Amino acid sequence: MKVSAFDFDGTLTTKDTFIELIRYVHGTRKMYLGFLLFLPVLILMKLRLYPNWKAKQRVFSWFFKGMTLDEFDHYCAAFALDHQSLIRPKGMQAIRDALVEGAKVIIISASIDNWVRPFFSDMGEIVVEGTQIDVRDGVLTGKFLTKNCYGREKVKRLQKHFPYRQTYQLTAFGDSRGDKELLNYADKGYFKPFRGKRQRKAR
């Protein structure tokens, strides 16, 4: 069996979809206001002095806490429909090629899976594993229900669907530090692909 695992933001997209979704839902002015308020936290995160997941959760909560799940999912679906131009054509073709070859395809992203999944809704059986959000009585609490899908967590999410590693050949695609463990876990790992010639990740 063949399995193809793709990171989403930066690998399959040209921009960070979290930022673009915030802009889509709240407008550019409020987006900048929110990021300005959290600038000290974001700087500490970049310096690795503050947990990535905690900074991300605080930003997500500020923009989306209190929104109903139905409203949020509506925005996510509309965002994906209106922003297909964010997807790298070579990346989408790689997914189509993998499906034609009979490979199992999984998208593993640190982004919230609610807005990642709609980008692939018409492509058949594709598994999407992302950071999941907490919802109570149909309303977003602003908290994450799962760990941020980053680093070793990406390998764990892959193993949840494909636990018997010796039974399949794994090809993985990523573009950042958060994909390192997944790329190293693969038989073939490609770093920053779909921007020209694929670059093989040394193991």
pLDDT tens per residue across span 68-87: 999 999 999 999 999 999 99
Domains and CATH numbers, the chain: 2-200 (3.40.50.1000)
Q: Is residue 30 pLDDT above 50, yes or no?
A: yes
Rounded CA separation 34/9 (Å): 21
At residue 201, the pLDDT reads: 52
pLDDT tens per residue across span 117-156: 999 988 888 999 999 999 999 999 999 998 889 999 999 9
Q: Is residue 66 pLDDT above 70, yes or no?
A: yes
pTM of the complete model: 0.90
Count of CA atoms in the C-beta half-sphere (13 A) of 186: 25
Rounded CA separation 119/83 (Å): 9
Among 158, 197, 198, 196, which residue's Cα sits nearest to residue 174? 198
Instruction: State how beta strands 139-144 and 126-131 pair.
Output: unpaired
Exposed/middle/buried for residue 162 (C-beta within 10 Å: 0-12, 13-18, 19+): middle
How many residues belong to the chain? 203
